[in-house]
Structures are given as structure tokens and as C-alpha cells.
Structure 1
Amino acid sequence: MPFYSCFAHSLIQNGYHYSRKSPWTASQNIAAVESLGICHSFVLHCIISSFPGLPLVNPIPTKSLEGKSLIIRVFIEQFYENLEEATIGRWLKAEGDRVGDQEPLVEIITDKITFELPAPGSGVVRSIISREKSVVPVGCVIGLLGEPDDPLPDVSAENRATLERRQREVESQALIPSPETVAPEASVSERVRDRGKVRATPAARRVARENGMDLAEVAASIGGGLIQEEDVQRWIERRGSST
């Protein structure tokens, strides 16, 4: 498959070996990706996790993993459409505890669901970044897994970059006018143009009929809504003063 071929080629270029006889697990594949600094995005995590038996890499003496960080990031993911943030519930593991791949790690609370987020890989809980009751935007890192000697990345900088990117997305969306804010006068005129949609009290209709007034014109003058008798009277007075 193209993804496999390109990814294996990148690993070979960086001094790694891949074998179909002894594939790594999903967590090891993710760790290998992060050790190369290829990508830390959740999307890539999803792709690799979808192929737990994908035969990617086994280290050989040409380049050792020693000195490379195998830290696994725990993200607040886009669990469903329109989710913007989530609240951290109870951490099921403490810093220093070892957790297995897909073992329940932390309770996540959203406006729709509450569930236990599994660990995206196995390792020691090196850092709990977002404490209980913290409200965390989608895409931010809430914890780090790895081995005791793995150097920790600057997650605060990564989270700031994520927040800035999301803010730019929100601002760009705000520049797109919604249908409700485009030409409000046109929507009123469309309503009053159709005589059947003019809403008026019986008294207002009677006064308009007696004076030969068009209720659509009265509706346009008050911006739509239910026409009262006094609205018709004011419109008659205004028309009379202008003639």
C-alpha cells in the first residue's frame, strides 16, 4: 500500500530496518514515528493505530534508538463533530504508574458523554499535564507516556501552537457572514411582499381597509412583526403629513 511503502522508505533513510517477520505493535510503531520527529499529529496516530500488525521497524545496529525520545502524547481528540473542549475527570493512573496499551487512563467529560480514555500506548505515566477539572481544548496534549529515562518534550509550546491555530480558524470562520446577517432588509421586504404573510390584528386590518391602506407598507415601516391598530394610525398620520 502507498502509505506503507512511503513510511518504510522514510524509516530506511533514517537508518532503521523493517521486517515482515517480526512487526511491532501499534504503540511501538507510534513510538518509532515520534522518535524520528516525523509527525506528532493525532491523525497519524490514528492511521498507525489502525494497523496494529503493520510490519514497520525493528532496530538494527546501523542506528540505535538510544538517545531518541519514545514519548507518547495523550491528546484531547475530536471525539465527535463540533466538539471544542473537554473536561478532565479523574486520572486512573498517577505519575510514575505503568499503563498498558489501551488500558483506561483518564476520565473525559464532554457536554454529551463521559467516558474513560484508553492509553494510546504502553509505558510509564511520565507527566500529567492537565489536572482534574481542567477544561482542555481539542488537540491539546494532556499527558505523556514513556520510559523513566526518556527526555520530555516542551508540551507547553505545542499546546500554545495548537491554541493559536484553533484561534485563527475561529477568526477566519467569523469573517464569513452567516445567512442571518446578510442583507436583513431584503429578508423583511421578502416577507412583506407576500400579502398572505402580513400579520395584523383584526382592528388593524379594519382601520387599514377603511382608509385604503396597504398593510404590507405598514409592515415594512415597522420592520415586520404583528401590526397593531396604532401602527396603522401612525402610518396614516405620517402619510397625511407628507402630502
Structure 2
Amino acid sequence: MSTSVVLPALGESVTEGTVTRWLKNVGDTVNEDEGLLEISTDKVDTEIPSPVSGVLEEIMVAEDETVEVGAVLARIGDGTGTSAPAEGSAAEASAAEQSGAEQSGAEQPAEPEAPAAEEPAAPAPAPEEAGAAAGPTTTAPASAGKDIVLPELGESVTEGTVTRWLKQVGDEVAVDEPLLEISTDKVDTEIPSPLAGILQEILVAEDETVEVGSVLGRIGSGAAAAAPAETAAPAEAAPTAPAAPPAPAPAQPAAPAVAAPAPAAPAAAVPASAVPAPAAPATPAAAPATPAPAGTATTDDEATYVTPLVRRLAAQQDVDLSTVHGTGVGGRIRKEDVLRAAEAMAAPSAAAAAAAPVEVSPLRGTAQPMTRLRKVLAERAVASMQQTAQLTTVVEVDVTALAALRDHVKDDFLAKTGNKLSFLPFFALAAAEALQAFPIVNATVEGDQIVYPASENLSIAVDTDRGLLTPVVHDAGTKSIAQIAHEIADLAARTRENKLKPDELAGGTFTLTNTGSRGALFDTPVVFLPQSAILGTGIVVKRPGIVKVDGVDAIAVRSYVYLALSYDHRIIDGADAARFLAAVSTRLEAAAFDANLGI
């Protein structure tokens, strides 16, 4: 059965792409996530990875041909639809294709077949090839290397600065493993390796700025790079054995077998029996049986025990999966296990934080250069203050009813969505709805014109070790509390992990900054151009308040929060700000969010 490889969406406004180069040919074996072809659009040049492991059976779009997003580019299957393996016998071709599909690693099975016929005439090189685990399947490309270029990092980003190389020359890298860190005027991000191999050359030094498309370094094939460390002992123990295997041409199945990281020795025996398909499931099947009771062994085989949903939830809750005991079938870690672990961590952490003495920072008494991100923030803040007329209006909001609603639904919300329910999603939705009623607060200034955006895109201020970043929740006014809470948690987590995409920082029309997350009552946040306003939300506190009970004033315990709106007085008047804040306050005090929870 074949799998279609389609042109994925490459950006909101990208509708088509041009195939610039195929990295594989029909009949080649490809691994999941291995680069398959290169696509060029009007915004970015990028590689399209293979969605599955198997054999490239058919190429549907030729080089230099332009197709729309969603078009089928190629088909990958088990190899029965190709004629490439016809050089060997039908049984050998089937075994090679099946082995290539089940065991990632053989990039070009057709190439080892031809040398196999010549190996008996050249016995001297044969032991060397066998000693290198019978299959640096891409020996030739290893010497040439593949260029690692600086990709497009946003519509208006034209250059980037290398802030740190995470790998050094000679280091092995895996596909999608972070290779270096790049800083631009919009985002600091990691550049992943497009292929597995060895970093052969670094062409751009740290702190050096280059344009988009520049070559940063070169990587050679890593198919045999990881293998020698694992197979060196077997190769030395049996140096005379290689002469025998090449004769029946087992080098062809041996090449894919080497790429399997753990079972290097067993994999060599599997092709000999010509039944690699049953052998591959046998290893994962045996794995659950042993670590199942322990539960903590799931980190050794996350693909078996931990689903992407559970991994994402664990990352959001800062839960180490190696410490979680799975209660699912076979020791599988479930969502409920992660939530219980997060709750167990919360109370001790809060108590420890309250009792812990203040630590003296190692920065005390030192001088440190500004990071590129800090320089950009400083420049933008000064420019904004110089080019706009900013002031701040503050209101106090009684959120007692909202606090009661939150307390009532937060456990159910956490169980159903995997996200903790804070006040911030309520503030975000109330602000987005108020922006729809008072679009001047959402507007921008372009020359002598006031531009009113058609959507309410909330930039959420996120504090990171590198500085303040503001990922965007688009069309916030159309989303539920559950959707907003999930997006905020996801964006914040990926921002702090330096995994945010540049486009996720673009398009904001209004900013929300939760200064109360660090205990502040309120502050006077700075508006960053081109936006015209920013809302700061303080900490929700309980204190005595005056309420009406049967028409009589009484003192009761109430929950209050300060909302501070900073705005550009060039287009927003004090009355506009007051009306906007009044709308937000009314919405929050009514706490009529039952229909907006989304659970």
C-alpha cells in the first residue's frame, strides 16, 4: 500500500510551490522525516521530509514544476511498485525493500547491489566496508557534504546572527536535532539539522551576521557515523567473517540493519532469515513486557508508552515523565497520571518557594553584554516612547463571581483539556470582545490614516531567559476559553523552549501582559509600535469590600484585580480608554462565561 506525499501548507499566504530538486530517486529507500525534495515558494525555500519509511515508488511532479498546496508530489510504498530492485532476484528485492521499510537507515539499496558484484574481485576493501558496519550507505555524499543554509524566518526578516553553535566540527547530529542558535530582530530560534550525519565544516562564526540563504555549515552522511561506535566491537571480534557475507550479498540487508540503533547485532541475523518484517515488531513487543511494571522505563521508548498528547501535557505541566508511574495497560502513562503528578508537585513547590532563602545571583558585581534580543527590545521601546504619546488608565474590577466560577470548573477543565484554568483566558476573551465594540483601541496609525484591523489578534507577553517575547493568539474574539487557554499555554511553553515559529510572533493588534503572575498589583506597560494599546492585568487579591445586601451596605470578602490600559493618545482619548475598560469590567464582573468555556 502506497502513501501519498503532498505539498503541505507553508504559510498563511503561500498557495503554491516549485519543486527545485529531488533529493531521492525512484527506487531509493527513504526514512521517515528524511529529506525527500526541496520546494521553493515566494517566501521560503525548504525541504519536504518523507512522512513514512519505505521506497520511493513514483515521482508525480518534476523539478522546476509549480503545483498548489495539497498536490500529490510522490508516492512511497513497500517497493512493489518500482522496478529499481530488478537487478537482483525477486526474493532479494522483496527482502531488501521490506528490510528498508522496517529498519530505518538504508538510503540507497540499489547502490550496494552493484558493488556487491565487484567485492569478490577486490577482497581488500571488503573487510574495511564490513568493519564500518557493512554500510555507510552514503559514503560518497559524506565527503561532499550537504550545505546547511539560513532559512527564511519571517516575511520581513532578511538576516540573522549566529549566537551559538550547539554542535562542533566532527560531532554527530540527528535529523531535526538543534544545530545552532540564530537571532533576528524578531525572534531567537534554533536551526535544526535537515539530515543525520557529521558536522564537517562551520562557515559562519558566532556573533557573525549573514543574509537569509547563506550557507552556515556542511554536514556529511551520518548513516555510518553512529554505527561504528556500536558495531566496532563486533567488527574487531570477527575480522575474518566479512569475506563470507559479501558472497551471498547480505551487505544489502545489512546496511539497513546498521541504522537500527539498539539491535545492531540481532538485525544482522534477521536479513539472513529473510523475514525482517516479523523481527521488527518482535523487539517492540518484548520491550513493553519488561518495563511495564516499573512505569518509569517509558522514557526509553516514548513512542510505545507516551502519546504526543501526554508528552505535550507533561511539558506544559513541567512534569518529568521518568518520574511518573503509568497506570494504563502495560504500564502506559495516561493523561490522568500526568495531571496527578502535576498536582502532587504543586503543593510542595509552593511551600518550598515560600520558605527558601533568597539566592545571591552570580551576576552581582559583573558586567554582561546585551543580547541581540535585548538590544532590539531596547531600541523598539525607546522608539515607541519617542514616536507616540503614551499614558495609562487604571480601573479596579470586582471579580468575585468570576473567581467562584473558576473554582467551580477548574478541576473539570483540567481533566478535559489538560490545561490549568487561570484568570488570563477570561481577561483575554473579555478584552477581545471589547476591542470589537471599540476598535479604536485595536487600531494602528499609518501616516495620517487610522487603520482598523478586521480581527482581534492578541499578543501575549511571555517572560523568557532571553527577554520578553509576544506570541500571538489570532482571532481571539471568536474562540472559547478552552481554546484560548490551550493556545496561551502552548505558545508560552514553546516560546520559553525557543521553538516558536517566526510567523507566530507576527500580526498582533493588541497586547495583553499578565503582570500579576509575579505578584504585581498593576504597572504602566509600554505600547510597542505599530500597536496602539496594551492591557496589563494585575494579581487577583482578596480583601474586604463594600457590597449591597438587601439594599444595605455591608462588608464582605471580595476578589479584586487592577486592569491598566496604556494607549497612544494620538488616536485614543481618555474617554475611549474608559469606555473600553468599562466594557471589560462589566463582562468580568458578570462572569457569564458558561457558554464560552468550550468543555
TM range (shorter): 0.3 to 0.5
Q: TM-score, normalised by structure 1?
A: 0.44
* Higher RCO (C-alpha 8 Å, min separation 6): 1
Q: TM-score, normalised by structure 2?
A: 0.19
Identify the structure with the greater strand proportion. Answer: 2
